[in-house]
Amino acid sequence: MEKTYQAIRFSEKLAKITDFWQPRVIAEMNDYQFKVVRIAGDFIWHDHPDTDETFIVLSGQLRIDFRDGAVSIGSGEMFVVPKGIEHKPYAETEVQLLLIEPRGVLNTGHAGGDRTAQNDVWV
Amino acid sequence: MEKTYQAIRFSEKLAKITDFWQPRVIAEMNDYQFKVVRIAGDFIWHDHPDTDETFIVLSGQLRIDFRDGAVSIGSGEMFVVPKGIEHKPYAETEVQLLLIEPRGVLNTGHAGGDRTAQNDVWV
């Protein structure tokens, strides 16, 4: 009998998320994870010393501030933040994101603090 | 002076591609590459023995056949083909894809043949 495999629908996963700034894992590729997250407002300055981090915007308009500038990322666009580069995401209104990064990366990098989300939570 | 960094727009990259089944690199994250590709029709059976491969559908409806079944992937959906699993992509009408896989992976895996695209070509 032929099996029917299921694709992962971003909107369906996001609809199950009620809290902001809490990335939820939806898939893995080798030792990398795909995470969806809803964000709104300001985050904290942080970096990831050991890895690049990919942002794909699914809806809304994301701004990422750097110490020397900024990038604006809209729906249907992506940006890779290089490892070790300090950044601060900002969303004037809600933004829905797909994040891609190695398993084990914390949302606040090495900055820590009360904005650190629980890691490796699936939706 | 503040620098303005540029996001990568999938549709803009795809608009520069005129040939089918020729993945073009648009970004790198660590040793992984993001590639956009336009496909239509049937591909060949192949697998990637050393790595998973991620398909994100940007437009159209993709079917991937496996030896024991199939998955249908639409716009706003993704699927990770596990390493070593034989698969054959099929698009009844044009599909535009974002592929994510380690640098150096060939589109035909170990199958080779005349459907093998030149690797590591950027757009």
Q: Is residue B28 part of a domain?
A: yes
Q: Taking CB atoms and an 8 Å cutoff, what residues of chain B touch A72?
A: 7
Nearest CA to B17 among B117, B120, B122?
Answer: B122
Query: What are the pLDDT digits (tens) for B40-56?
Result: 999 999 999 999 999 99
pLDDT tens digits, residue range B74-122?
999 999 999 999 999 999 999 999 999 999 999 999 888 999 999 999 9
Q: For B14-26, how does the pLDDT look when each residue is reduced to its tens digit (9 = 90+)?
A: 999 999 999 999 9
Q: Which residues of chain A have a CB within 8 Å of the CB of B78?
A: 7-8, 10, 26-27, 34
Is residue A102's pLDDT more than 90?
Answer: yes
pLDDT number for residue B86: 97
Which of chain B's residues have a Cβ under 8 Å away from the Cβ of A6?
A: 71
**Mean pLDDT score across all residues of chain A:** 96
User: Which of B9, B53, B71 faces A6 most closely, judged by CB atoms?
Assistant: B71
* B109 assigned to some structural domain: no
Cα A30 to chain center, whole Å? Answer: 18
Q: Is residue A5 part of a domain?
A: no
CA-based angle B93:B94:B99, to the nearest 5? 130
Mean of pLDDT values over B25-42? 98
Closest approach of chain B CAs to the CA of A116, in angstroms?
A: 23
Residue A29 within any structural domain of the chain = yes
Q: Is B2 within a domain?
A: no
Q: Evaluate whether residue B3 is within a structural domain.
A: no
CA-to-CA separations, B44 to A7, A37, A68, A94, B30, in angstroms, rounded: 21, 36, 47, 42, 29
Out of B9, B29, B70, closest to residue A76 by CB: B9
**% of chain B exceeding 70 in pLDDT:** 99
Provide the number of structural domains found in chain B: 1
Answer yes or no: is the ipTM higher than 0.85. Answer: yes
Question: Which one of A2, A57, A68 has the shortest CB-CB distance to B70?
Answer: A2
Q: Residue A86 maps to which CATH number?
A: 2.60.120.10
The predicted-structure confidence for A70-94, as pLDDT tens digits, reads as follows: 999 999 999 999 999 999 999 999 9
Q: Radius of gyration (Cα) for chain B, nearest Å?
A: 14
- What residue numbers bound the domain in which B90 lies? 10-102
CB contact under 8 A, A7 and B70: no
pLDDT of residue A83: 97
Q: Is residue A65 part of a domain?
A: yes
* A43 part of a folded domain: yes
Q: Would you say A74 and A61 are in contact if contact means Cβ atoms under 8 Å apart?
A: yes
Residues of A in contact with B5 (CB under 8 A): 66, 69-71, 79
| Averaged pLDDT for residues A98-103 | 97
C-alpha separations of B101 from A121, B27, B94, B123 in Å: 23, 11, 22, 17
What pLDDT score was predicted for residue B110?
A: 80
Cβ <8 Å between B69 and A4: yes
Residue A80 has a pLDDT of 98
**Nearest CB to B8; choose among A4, A11, A77:** A77
Res. A24: pLDDT tops 90? yes
